[in-house]
């Protein structure tokens, strides 16, 4: 049983500038490395089960994307499908069909997916979670406006995809206690931007993620993935040596 699990964060798979774009080549390398290290992608329910003490996330990774950029459909999905991976995309529901018009530095204005693309990808097995309706920082709104963003974005997805989504991610990772409570009223699980491996002891509505911006270098990514395995192998070796010594 693994006591920790990996949740990866991506935004755009493109050559746009800034930390929220990863080049198609780097993304392909990261997915290839995962597959070579024996990892499979997990679905949201598997991760949720693991967090609640059921099942295992060893050699599994939950791949998440924020913002519904159009390059997900065009570039990321074909690469994911090469390895039989699925991903969970967090959608700012009322921005679909337009371009990124919220604060980003440097400003990139990347185009977003259309609703029909999300419907098609959902049929292909990709998962979708809510990310607010307008990508505003949730602590900056209250009352009906906040309910519109939190519950409303899930209601939009429910209307399009036939079921209320289990997962939410707050835009910019911006939350306060009240926001987290309101998210918990509607969603089974929510993901933040704290950089860490997820643990069962994490608050179910503030699960940390690994921002893949930090693993553009192939060696860094492979070392990170194999760190656990090397440690595990070392422990197994020590145990065998110990047993041999006791027998001797």
According to CB under 5 A, which one of 13, 30, 57, 67 is a site residue for Zn ion?
67
- Closest separation between CB of residue 10 and Zn ion, Å? 11
User: Is residue 182 involved in binding Zn ion (CB under 5 A)?
Assistant: no
User: Is residue 211 involved in binding Zn ion (CB under 5 A)?
Assistant: no
Of 19-27, 46-54, 165-173, 198-206, the window that binds Zn ion (rule: CB under 5 A) is: 165-173
User: Is residue 165 involved in binding Zn ion (CB under 5 A)?
Assistant: no
- Closest separation between CB of residue 133 and Zn ion, Å? 12
Q: Residue 88 phi/psi, 5° resolution?
A: -110, 115
- Nearer residue to Zn ion within complex by CB, 67 or 202: 67
User: Is residue 202 involved in binding Zn ion (CB under 5 A)?
Assistant: no
- Nearer residue to Zn ion within complex by CB, 5 or 138: 138
User: Is residue 127 involved in binding Zn ion (CB under 5 A)?
Assistant: no
In the numeric block, which tokens belong to residue 84?
């039989």
According to CB under 5 A, which one of 132, 171, 192, 208 is a site residue for Zn ion?
171
Residues found near Zn ion in the complex (CB under 5 A): 66-67, 171
């Amino acid at each position: 049983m693994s006591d920790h699990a990996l949740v990866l964060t991506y935004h755009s798979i493109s050559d746009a500038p800034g930390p929220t774009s990863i080049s198609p080549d780097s993304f392909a390398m990261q997915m290839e490395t995962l597959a070579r290290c024996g990892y499979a992608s997990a679905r949201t329910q598997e991760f949720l089960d693991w967090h609640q003490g059921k099942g295992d996330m060893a050699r599994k990774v939950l791949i998440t994307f924020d913002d519904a950029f159009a390059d997900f459909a065009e570039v990321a999905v074909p690469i994911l499908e090469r390895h039989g991976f699925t991903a969970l995309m967090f959608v700012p529901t009322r921005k679909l069909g337009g371009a990124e018009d919220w604060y980003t530095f440097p400003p990139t204005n990347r185009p977003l997916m259309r609703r029909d693309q999300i419907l098609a990808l959902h049929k292909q097995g990709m998962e979708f979670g809510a990310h607010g309706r307008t990508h505003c920082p949730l602590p900056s709104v209250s009352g009906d406006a906040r309910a519109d963003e939190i519950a409303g974005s899930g209601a939009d997805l429910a209307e399009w995809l036939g079921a209320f989504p289990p997962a939410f991610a707050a835009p910019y990772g911006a939350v306060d206690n009240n926001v987290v409570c309101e998210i918990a009223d509607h969603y089974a699980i929510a993901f933040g931007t704290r950089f860490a491996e997820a643990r069962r002891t994490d608050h179910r509505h503030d699960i940390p993620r690994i921002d893949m911006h930090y693993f553009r270098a192939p060696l860094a990514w492979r070392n990170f993935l194999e760190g656990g395995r090397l440690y595990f192998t070392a422990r197994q070796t020590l145990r065998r040596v110990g047993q041999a010594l006791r027998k001797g």
